[in-house]
Every structure is written in C-alpha cells, then in structure tokens.
Structure 1
Amino acid sequence: MARFRWFTHSVPDGLPVRQVYGFLFASDGRVLIRVDGAKHSLPGGRPEPGESTYADILRRETYEEVTADISEPHYLGYQRVDDGIAPYAQVRMVASLAKVYPPAPDPDNGRTYRRLLVPPGRAGELLNWGVSGRKQASAAAAAAIAVLGLPHHDLPAPSYI
C-alpha cells in the first residue's frame, strides 16, 4: 500500500516528479474541482517531453482537462509517494482562474469533465486524500489569501460552472 506525505519545501534532487496538480481559485475564493463521475480531483497531470517547468505542465493540463486559463502558478509543495517500488513526487501549485471557457473533451481521453467550485475546506473532503489532502487544501487556502489576495470569508456555496 502506498504512503503519502506532504512537504512544503522544494522537491529534493533525485526525487522524480511524476505529476503536477493545481489548486485553482475563482475570484470569489472557491477552488475548482474536476469531477469525473463520482471521482473528484484537481486539474493536473504528468509532464510531457519539452515541458521545462511545473507551471508549463499545470497550464497545459488545466486547459486540456477543464478548458481554463490560469494566472502565474505559485509552488505550494509536494506529496511524496512511497509505493514500494520507487518513491516519487506529486507537485502541488496554486493559481487564480484567469478565464474559463465552455467545457470541451480532454484531448488525451475524449472525456468532458464537470467543474465544481467549492470552498477550500470542502475541497479537502471531496478529494478524499486523507490527512495529506486536508493539509494540502489548508496550505492552498492560506496561499490563496496571502499570495493571490483572495477572500477567505463568506464564500458562496458550491456550484458547477
């Protein structure tokens, strides 16, 4: 069984980054969750050849999966995954949603995902990532306020966009 641990410092040299995901915030302070049937996740995915930064990966994946543009992403931390084979990192970033387009199929698999905006505390629950996920959502909410300047009180109820 894989173990997951959350860190807020840089990914150590030699630990491969296999995924980059983003906590993407609307201007009202809610975070975007990608919905695929009953599964909830953050927009993001694997690096592709030629992508040199985490921001490049997140921008591409965000557009492909949830047809949205984002502001300059900020590094939040990484989740170390120990799967019994070889440990790797899943990077987490935070950004604002700059523009949201009508839903479109993901070019990788043809699925069109639903997009749900929720208060950050609710994101930790929906992601179902346990303690690590709740820590990540909490760090993202703090960064949304401190780095992105977003509101943190009187957030609207969850809604699909």
Structure 2
Amino acid sequence: MDLILWRHAEAQDHPDLLLGRPGDAADLARRLTSRGEKQAARMAAWLDRQLPDGARIWTSPAQRCEQTALALGRKFKLSESLAPEAHPQALLDLVQWPTGKSPMVVVGHQPTLGRVVARLLGLQEDDCSVKKGAVWWLRHRERGTLGQTVVVTVQTPELI
C-alpha cells in the first residue's frame, strides 16, 4: 500500500494569534497565501504525473487543505479524522494502513502528518516535521513474515 502524506501549502496566519486555537472556526477558514497557491500548484503538477488513476484522496476540512487538494484537479473527500490536531491513529484507520488496496493521498496538518511518518518509521513521535506544501510518499511491503515501511520519496515544492 502507498500512503502519500501532503501537508497543506503556506496559509494565512490565524487572525487571533494570541487566543486562536487549532481547529477553531477562524483556523478552519484560513486560506492559502499567493505563495501557498503556487506551492500547491507546483506539487500538484508533480503528483498528478506520479499518481495512478485509482488513487484515493482525503483531506482535512480546513479551507487551506481543500485549496491544496483542489490544485490536483481530482475528486477528494473530506474527513474530520484529518482536522488540525488529529490523532495519528485516526489517519491510519481512515486509510486502512497497511492493508488498503488503493494508493491514498492525505492532505493534512502538522504535527499529525509528522507523527504518522515517525510512527511508521519507528522514530520518536516528535522527531519528524513535514514542511508546508511537502509530500512524504511511504509504501508498506511484506518481506517474509515482516511488514516494512519504505520511504519512496520526500518532495518539497521548492525542489520540483
């Protein structure tokens, strides 16, 4: 199974920097900056060339994630399991890791995406950070009786 974790591109700051909370209404309404729109378009063009037609796409209900996913030009579904501050296991359950049949693209947030990467690679939970607009492409494979997670690629919009 392939799991492609895509962090939303650069977004506007929370309008209430002091009292705002991840996942509150103002946070969910934050949109991409013009730089973020360019990041999303660049990464989406690269992803579109790499993804098979049967790939399924899930996104957080946050506006910035929806905008990032829209750049790909494919159908996607929203899930509350991917909202800001979501638990890594909720994401893994949603995509049916590692037994799912289709490649899955998840557009979401830090720290959840980094925690998923860390968990799948056997790192400490806070050891991995996913840069805005970046993609981590992970693959589960069986080697004998053991399951392994392989890093297929890590891409950032600036390097594409």
Compute the TM-score of the two structures, normalised by the length of structure 2. 0.24
Question: Whose strand fraction is larger, Structure 1's or Structure 2's?
Answer: 1
Compute the TM-score of the two structures, normalised by the length of structure 1. 0.24
Question: Whose helix fraction is larger, Structure 1's or Structure 2's?
Answer: 2
